[in-house]
Amino acid sequence: MNPVNHVNLVNPVNVIMKFGGTSVADAEAMNRVLAIVRATLAGSPKDKPPVVVVSAMSKVTDRLIETGRVTTLGWGDQGATLLRELLERHIAVATGLVAGGALAGLIDTLRADFAALTDMVRAWAAAHEMTPRAHDELVAMGELASSRIVATAFADSGIPAVWVDARRVLVTDDEYTAALPDMDATCARTSELVAPKRAAGQVAVLGGFIGATAGGVTTTLGRGGSDYSAAIFGACLDVDEIQIWTDVDGMLAADPRVVSVPRLVPQLSFAEASELAYFGAKVLHPSTILPAISKNIPVRILNSRRPEVAGTRISADGRGDSGALTALACKRGVTVVDITSTRMLMAHGFLRRLFEVFERFKTPVDVVTTSEVSVSVTVDNTRRLDDVVANLTNFADVACEPEMAIVCIVGENLRSNPTLFGRAVNALAHVPLRLVSQAASRRNITFVLRDADVPEAMNRLHDEFFK
């Protein structure tokens, strides 16, 4: 029996479907996507076919970033070689999916796009220059190429599909490598460029992760940003469900790279999903939930290898078992910064000065704990930490401790069930804890500990709450 016949359509038939890198990794994976989209299309009204968003093929973004690295070193030839290998991989996948004139046209387009990019890489290498703006131009190639292949493969197999250049639809600011969407402008472009095609029964296929400024310069939303793109377009189109198709069955109760068989979380709230994504559940980009909340659109996480599994449903009222914890997350490789006021006690204005320094160097802090004379924070992005420390030492003693991690327990029930916290602390009795903090929302408690202790801590917590 073809499992795709059992694809979990539930009721929503007006959906946006995002397929991640592993779901479009090769021709076989793309064929699975084709079958899933075909089944969804069959259950959709004629004027509301699914809209499809795809990531770059697995590992392609990493290779493009590597290309950027060698370009910065002035190694234009190496950059060109990396791009040639990527072009060949894309052509091989295209050849496994598409035939005849459509294939020839697709290959011509891919060759032209890669040739133009190779010229740019050589020019950047000659100048030993790789600005954030150039970086975005370079890495956008992954989503451009994969989306072109998927759109052509759909059309070639009889799905009425049309490729839409996401850079013309997703309008962002000019914060290259971490651009933010302009929702009004993006929704206007969606109405203009996507909605009419959809109304005419066509499956629009767009690359995730990429956009452009109002002036048309290519931008990206940051690593893992295709989920966010899908949620943005989904909110503009007012779909009934935003589907994130990936390589696991849904949101798991713990990171499967740390806990060997974590339990599946069938449903959870938007707020819980945000906390989990922010604190390391890579299956969902942390910003994905924002557009979903704005239009109250449920998000579903599904497995493209096992479409018959119902996955995880994230919604405003999603709830786990009564009284229980929802899930765990961990963010590894963070640095703890201890800041002690050199004036006596916590002088008035100390916290403000302190956070101004982090703000000036665009260094977000995740966990904060304070005592009378000292403040400890955790930092994930250490790119500008040296500057931060140099500035803090003007008015404080500063000590940094790298190779730490954040483990957090998340659940709406943490508010109402005080025993959950006690059970967590007991489960971690043998793990040295550096900091403990509970946010005002009271749906998450974070523990800061040594990175090396993460496997033990996560497995003990998973045993305690999910076995």
Q: Which of 68, 225, 280, 411 binds ligand ASP (CB under 6 A)?
A: 225
With contacts defined by CB under 6 A, name the span among 103-111, 138-146, 247-255, 421-429 that binds ligand ADP: 247-255
Which residue in the set 7, 15, 16, 22 belongs to the binding site for ligand ADP (CB under 6 A)?
22
Segment lying near ligand ADP (by CB under 6 A), choices 196-204, 250-258, 334-342, 346-354: 250-258
The amino acid at 452: A
Q: Under a CB-based contact definition with an 8 Å cutoff, are residues 221 and 178 in contact?
A: yes
HSE at residue 209, side-chain half, CA atoms within 13 A, is 28
- When CB distances are held under 5 to 8 angstroms depending on the partner's kind, the choice from ligand ASP, Mg ion, ligand ADP, none that residue 61 binds is ligand ASP
Nearer to ligand ASP by Cβ, of 21 and 50: the residue is 21
Q: Provide the minimum distance between the beta carbon of 322 and ligand ADP in the complex, in angstroms, as a whole number.
A: 21
Q: How far is the CB of 58 from ligand ADP (least distance, A)?
A: 7
**Closest distance to ligand ADP from the beta carbon of 277 (Å):** 9
Is 224 an interacting residue with respect to Mg ion (CB under 5 A)?
yes
Q: Which residues, numbered 282-301, are part of the site for ligand ADP (CB under 6 A)?
A: 282-283
Angle at 87 between CA 86 and CA 93, to 5 degrees: 90
Query: Rounded to an integer, what distance in angstroms lies between the CA atom of residue 237 and that of residue 243?
Result: 14
Q: Which amino acid is at 414?
A: L
Question: By three-state DSSP, how is residue 181 classified?
Answer: strand
Residues 43, 28: Cα–Cα separation, whole Å: 23
Please, which residue, 103 or 334, has the CB nearer to ligand ADP? 334
226 binds ligand ASP (CB under 6 A): yes
22: tokens are: 């592993």
Nearer to Mg ion, 20 or 234 (CB): 20
Residue 379: CB atoms within 10 Å: 22
| SS3 category, 256 | coil
Quick one: CA dihedral 160, 165, 171, 172, positive or negative?
positive
- In the range 47-66, which residues lie near ligand ASP by CB under 6 A? 55-56, 61
Tell me: does residue 256 bind ligand ADP (CB under 6 A): yes
The site that binds ligand ADP (CB under 6 A) totals a number of residues, namely: 17
Does 208 participate in binding ligand ASP (rule CB under 6 A)?
A: yes
| Cβ-contact 276, 329 below 8 angstroms | yes
Question: Which part of the chain contacts Mg ion (CB under 5 A), choosing from 20-28, 262-270, 380-388, 453-461?
Answer: 20-28
Query: Please, what's the largest Cα pairwise distance for the chain?
Result: 78
The yes or no reply on residue 181 touching Mg ion (CB under 5 A) is no
Name which position in 21, 211, 234, 320 contacts ligand ADP (CB under 6 A): 21
Verify binding: residue 170, ligand ASP, rule CB under 6 A: no
- CA dist 76 and 79 (Å) reads 5
Residue 133 and residue 79: Cα distance in Å, rounded? Answer: 17
Please give the structure tokens belonging to residue 246. Answer: 């990936």
> 341 is written with which tokens?
């006021």
Site for ligand ASP in 117-146 (CB under 6 A): 142
Shorter beta-carbon distance to ligand ASP: residue 79 or 207: 207
For position 19 contacting ligand ASP by CB under 6 A, the verdict is no
Contacts 24+ apart (CB under 8 A), 119-127: 121/67, 121/71, 121/76, 121/79, 121/80, 121/83, 122/76, 122/79, 122/80, 124/71, 124/76, 125/70, 125/71, 125/73, 125/74, 125/75, 125/76, 125/79, 126/74, 126/76
Give which of Mg ion, ligand ASP, ligand ADP, none residue 307 binds (C-beta under 5 to 8 Å, depending on kind): none
Residues 81-120 that bind ligand ASP (CB under 6 A): none
| Residue number, 55 or 437, with CB nearest to ligand ADP | 55
Q: Applying CB under 6 A, which of residues 211, 224, 286, 318 lies at the interface with ligand ADP?
A: 224
Binding site for ligand ADP (CB under 6 A): 20-23, 55, 224, 246-248, 251-252, 255-257, 281-283
Binding site for ligand ASP (CB under 6 A): 20-21, 55-56, 61, 142, 208-209, 223-226
